[in-house]
Amino acid sequence: MTLSGWSLRLYEAADELFWAFTLTLLWIVFTLAGGVILGIGPATVAAYTVARRRASGESFQGWSAFLTAYRREFVRGSLLVLPLAGAFALLAANYFWFASIGPAAAVPRLATVAALVALIVVSSYLLPMFVHYDLPARAYLPKASLFAITRPASSVVLLFVLAAVVYVADTFPFLGLVLAVGAWIQLDTWLCLRFFAENEARLQAKGIT
């Protein structure tokens, strides 16, 4: 590879890191702006909205685009994300409770882990799907769940990528603080858009609309 080629690759890598930092910062600022509970839903949906635009190759101003999406999705974002966050918190609390009991609670602890993994996988499809498709509100969760069940290989890829992000964040806490959220949201969105496109192409090939 030529020097200019390496320079281009380094520039692109630096640009992606800066974008992950920006997206993480936006998510944190707007989550706090809503008092966490009222902010996490619209901030998360806004983050996925701008991540989708970036993954689609659009050019936009990050802060203004995020603010527009945050305001537009304030109610819908809360209705979507808060139940997911509540379910995750409940399952996590159950896991630590069963873990504190010891070997006697091995079965319910493993069942809780399985439920957590299922929730993570479904959520990984649900949020990109929410900002990519215009569907009735009640249709997103069933479609995301069906996609997770029928695309096991894609689900494994998402889990692997999430595990890699968590590993890096755990190994380098500072990087985790400033990059992890944005990196995961962008990677999740980028992958899911491709999974959705592959699925649509497959359905069209079969004559299913």
pLDDT score of 207 more than 90: no
pLDDT score of 3 more than 50: no
Is pTM beyond 0.85? Reply is yes
Interval 39-64 mean pLDDT: 95
pLDDT digits (tens, 9 = 90+) for 139-193: 999 999 999 999 999 999 999 999 999 999 999 998 888 999 999 999 999 999 9
In the block, which residue shows the tokens 């890699």?
A: 164
CB 31 within 8 A of CB 15: no
pLDDT of 141? 96
The C-alpha atoms of residue 87 and residue 92 are separated, in whole angstroms, by: 9
Between 24 and 8, name the one with better pLDDT. Answer: 24
pLDDT-derived band at 65 (thresholds 50, 70, 90) equals very high
Q: What is the mean pLDDT of the chain?
A: 92
pLDDT digits (tens, 9 = 90+) for 115-128: 999 999 999 999 99
pLDDT-derived band at 67 (thresholds 50, 70, 90) equals very high
**What are the DSSP E strand ranges found in 19-133?**
none
Would you state the structure tokens that stand for residue 4, as one six-digit string?
Answer: 């200019």
pLDDT score of 1 more than 60: no
pLDDT score of 45 more than 80: yes
pLDDT of 95? 94
Q: Which residues of 158-185 are buried (b: 16+ CB within 10 A; e: fewer)?
A: beebbeebeeebeeeeebbebbbbbbbb
**Sequence-ordered list of residues with C-beta below 8 angstroms from that of 70, at least 6 positions apart, any chain:** 30, 42, 43, 46, 77
Would you state the structure tokens that stand for residue 192, as one six-digit string?
Answer: 């899911």
pLDDT of 155? 96
> For the chain, which residues make up each domain, given as ranges?
3-205
